[in-house]
A and B are shown apart, each in its own frame.
Chain A
């Protein structure tokens, strides 16, 4: 992880998921691409790039005190085609989460609510969710999700710039 040490990162980007569960690896893939870009990319300078399995305690630790936290996760949503992307602001999460179930068993919306109750939300929290097709074991993203990654990376770069 790169970042600004114990003073707390001003901006953190968290990729949630498991790269051995096919489309669940979308978040980690975005982080991998951002890490590759970071050394020569002014827009990513000083940005903390982190991975998460969605476990709530570590997630809250990652974003607590941040000016901006961007979370990238894969979701199931039969209503939308694989590769479809959502961009959600934290206040919108509670309304959307019921219809867009995360692949993680401890719901992301619960993690956000827990952080809110504990007063440990970042100043601003944005979520990029990409609809996955296959969450079975395997190391490759499906074509639909893989095709969405490049634009996701660009969106994140724009947001944190």
Chain B
């Protein structure tokens, strides 16, 4: 135990958060003076890189921003370009996109639950340490098997698991055959059991008693759990179209970061991601996923960020269940894409990346060249809320020694699954106690 009122703690590398970044906590006189999450956003490289490119290129280029959520970038890019060009894809193509997106949710969430977050709750330093224990090996195997089911969707519908190549503006280069989908469904039926087991398992974790009062924001598609499209809505009653995103969400520079921080105009910080989705769309989960959520003790809303692992587990059930539903009624779309001739216009697109709302906006000239691009990833939207939560979280735990406090901070940060590789370079955690 440490009762020093001024002390410094430095942790090099918050190893199990995707990507890279830095976390600083400064304690003075026994009180938390400052908490900063540094996200270097070497400066909007992709937005600059996209200028002058053809309007058909953003899905391929932006997929490279994040290895964990390439589909999210592709889908938001496609929606924005198609909106600019006045094209709406057919319902079967939209369904195929939703199926591909389910694959990404399964992969991303299974990775986070089993390899990054669960070891925190179970008292292991890493998934490797967990796998070395008797029962732990089976748990890690289950996580990898679940993740592989998402991988199978990505390979079949996306053309490959990393940076899918089958997606194009207007649809897909190739639509899988029904026989291929039937084989995929077999894998998903096995995965559904694994997903349900995951919820039951995670429901048994011990969750710190911690709640936030952030306004939560997510896409909403009444009647359906939002993934691939929707209207933006918040727990504070806001509702607006993706095209109005920049009227409601203000990004501003803050002194300690090269990244822009997002806030809701006239309102302040907000939180996007699984708990926001669950809170705003939980009533539209499939019956099976809803039943799993209820059995796990998730109520109508989730304001404890530590329980986000449980929400992710429920979302995996939903994504597998939804993928099976989409496959069951699947007919290869014909044609599998529409030509999207350019026109001088601005288009906006927003989808639900595994980590939250991902917004794209492109301006295109009459020749089809991109004149400006704007990408707002979920992690930068959540930054202020994460810092706020960390400030309160640390203040309640100053009696912990440096090692324990650092470990708990790491767990707290992982609650938000920050995909800092979308916007940053290195992740170090620094606790400075004066």
Contact = CB atoms under 8 A, between A and B. Distances in A.
A58 B127 contact: no
Main secondary structure of the interface of B (DSSP, over half): helix
B356 interface: no
A79 interface: no
A106 B148 contact: no
Interface stretch (A32-40, A65-73, A81-89, A112-120): A112-120
- Which of A18, A58, A139: most chain B Cβ within 10 A? A58
A55 interface: yes
A138 B45 CA distance: 8
Given A57-B147, A117-B137, A136 B68 contact: no
A57 B148 contact: yes
Interface string B176-192: 00000000000000000
A52 interface: yes
Contacts of B148: 57, 61
B127 A1 contact: no
B299 to A, nearest CB: 32
Main secondary structure of the interface of A (DSSP, over half): loop
B144 A55 contact: no
Contact of A113 (B128, B147, B427): B128
B234 interface: no
Contacts of B127: 110, 114
- Which of B20, B132, B144, B148: most chain A Cβ within 10 A? B144
A32 B147 CA distance: 27
Interface stretch (B156-164, B166-174, B273-281, B340-348): B156-164
Contacts of A19: 64
B126 A110 contact: yes
B28 interface: no
B59 to A, nearest CB: 14
Nearest to A1: B160
Nearest to A117: B131
B163 A118 contact: no
B17 interface: yes
A136 B64 contact: no
Contacts of A77: none
Contact of B427 (A53, A105, A107, A138): A105
A60 B131 CA distance: 14
Interface in A26-56: 51-56
A118 B127 CA distance: 12
A28 to B, nearest CB: 10
Contacts of B140: 114, 118
A105 B18 contact: yes
Given A19-B64, A118-B131, A58 B162 contact: yes
A62 to B, nearest CB: 9
Contacts of B151: 57-58, 61
A117 B128 contact: yes
B42 A137 contact: yes
B16 interface: yes
Interface string B51-69: 0000000000000110110
A128 interface: no
A57 B111 contact: yes
B282 interface: no
Contacts of B421: 105
Interface in B370-419: none
Contact of B16 (A106, A113, A118): A106
Interface in B414-430: 421, 425, 427
B15 A106 contact: yes
B128 A110 contact: yes
B141 interface: yes
B339 to A, nearest CB: 28
B115 interface: yes
A58 B140 CA distance: 14
A58 B147 CA distance: 9
B19 interface: yes
A114 B128 contact: yes
B226 to A, nearest CB: 25
Given A52-B162, A55-B162, 13 more contacts: A20-B45, A53-B162, A55-B67, A55-B68, A57-B151, A105-B18, A106-B16, A110-B127, A117-B131, A118-B137, A118-B140, A138-B45, A139-B49
10 contacts: A18-B64, A54-B67, A55-B67, A55-B111, A57-B147, A58-B161, A60-B144, A105-B421, A106-B18, A137-B45
Interface of A: 1, 18-20, 51-58, 60-61, 105-107, 110, 113-114, 117-118, 135-139
Interface of B: 13, 15-20, 42, 45-46, 49, 64-65, 67-68, 107, 110-111, 115, 126-128, 131-132, 137, 140-141, 144, 147-148, 151, 160-163, 421, 425, 427
